[in-house]
Amino acid sequence: GAGVSQTPSNKVTEKGKYVELRCDPISGHTALYWYRQSLGQGPEFLIYFQGTGAADDSGLPNDRFFAVRPEGSVSTLKIQRTERGDSAVYLCASSASGGYNEQFFGPGTRLTVL
């Protein structure tokens, strides 16, 4: 079956602009996660959804970052007033029911803020 997909694969924007990154999880997976991976680092947790609600958003770095999952499937990560430090690969993952189940990752969106 289809894995986790993310669009766009690459996004280049200018400092101060608004961006949206999309994630399509594996069909039927109730849990969805966003991570951010900077060069030479492991992925860092941003936010976790169980169904439509954000169960844990403790990893969001500041209020410029926001994510939604209105129908419990597709999720959008939104970044306002982008800064050069936001440049990274943004990874999405899903799992069947959360908890300690393995998470399946998408290929990521590479965001570059000029």
Partner 1 sequence: AQSVAQPEDQVNVAEGNPLTVKCTYSVSGNPYLFWYVQYPNRGLQFLLKYITGDNLVKGSYGFEAEFNKSQTSFHLKKPSALVSDSALYFCAVNQAGTALIFGKGTTLSVSS
Which residue ranges make up the site for partner 1 (CB under 8 A)? 3-4, 33, 35, 40-45, 48, 55-56, 59, 91, 93, 98-100, 102-108
* Choice between 20 and 56, CB closer to partner 1: 56
Nearest distance, CB of residue 69 and partner 1, angstroms: 15
How far apart CA 42 and CA 82 sit, in angstroms, is 22
Q: What minimum distance in Å lies between the beta carbon of 44 and partner 1? A: 7
Q: Could you tell me if 33 and 25 are in contact, meaning their C-beta atoms sit under 8 angstroms apart? A: no
Look up residue 104 and give its two tokens. Answer: 């399946």
Q: What is the closest distance, in whole angstroms, from the C-beta atom of residue 59 to partner 1 in the complex?
A: 7
As a whole number of angstroms, the distance between CA 89 and CA 38 comes to: 6
Q: How crowded is residue 61: how many other Cβ atoms within 10 Å of its Cβ? A: 12
Q: CB nearer to partner 1: give 14 or 38.
A: 38
Shortest spacing between CB 4 and partner 1, in angstroms: 7
The DSSP output letter for 103 is P
